[in-house]
Amino acid sequence: MRIFISIILLIFLLIPKDTFAKLENQILIKVENKIITRFEVKNKIITTLILSNEEVSQENIDRLKGQALDFLIQHKLRKIELEKYNLKSDSSKLENYLNQISSNDIEGLKRKFNEYNLDYDLFKDEIDTQLKWQSLIYNIYSNKIDIDENIINKEIETILKNKKDIEEFKLSQIEILLDENTQSDKKIKFLEKQIRIDGFDKTAIKYNNPSGQNNNLGWINAKSLSKGIYSIIKNMKIGEISKPIKTQNSILFLKLEDKRISKTEDFNKNELKKNLLIQKKNELFNLYSKSHLSKLKNTSLIEYIK
């Protein structure tokens, strides 16, 4: 990797400074009044590689070009939408995320960015924008989410009436959104490799859908799972990670953290109700987030510069 970086740096040194600056600042895509430059794409690709401890090679750079462009287009769309609202940055959430991704060594992360001539502020802005986007979706759609508690109550009463033991699973997830330009098979292989290298938890922090629910789902009643998900989870061992689960708009990996059987007489009815409500609300927020971003993309002028 060091040899590759040295070659790249040598090439850059041989290019006149004014010519190199023009190349770096070359506009690749216009998203309404926002631009995406060659430097931003390079910054995103190399950042992704070093955070996932992958080799900075031409093969990996080429592999991530499409993913980086898709991300940056969505990033610009989010920023355009956020400009319509007066949302302040949540410095505590931002710092917490940066601490998680850097293993509590933010200064070390900054040095790594400097080593590879990357713009740390661009990366920080991406995270800040994603956190603001979560707040925006909550503010817009929280009043539109109406969960019929009667249905949940009936489901709980049925469980209690039948006096069956209650099966519960403690789950974590990685969910990656897909769009029409994303090749799911390549994305799956990429995520499987990251999980092998960094482990499930770190991969979840880096790549989990930022506008969706938390990667830690907590305890979930088996009755609240779809038949397809339950058929996968019930045969898993504690600590095991599921094979990739494809949905219409995403790829899902589930990790079984723990499982338990509760007797009906020992069962906490209020806890189950609370968990079911949270789960259904998170699913709806995730759906609204995807829909909102999709509408922005369909109604915005996105121009690819030749």
Question: pLDDT per residue over 87-140, tens digit each?
Answer: 999 999 899 888 888 888 999 999 999 999 999 999 999 999 999 998 899 889
- 211-229 average pLDDT score: 72
How many Å separate Cα 149 from the centre of its chain? Answer: 29
Give yes or no for residue 19 having a pLDDT over 60: no
Domain range annotation of the chain: 2-141, 147-298
What residue type is assigned to position 24 of the chain?
E
Give yes or no for residue 2 having a pLDDT over 50: no
Q: Is 135 exposed, middle or buried (0-12, 13-18, 19+ CB in 10 A)?
A: middle
Q: Is 290 exposed, middle or buried (0-12, 13-18, 19+ CB in 10 A)?
A: buried
Give yes or no for residue 162 having a pLDDT over 70: no
Is CATH 1.10.10.10 correct for 2-141? no
Give Cα separations from 58 to 5, 23, 92, 256 (angstroms).
10, 18, 37, 36
Is CATH 2.30.110.10 correct for 147-298? no
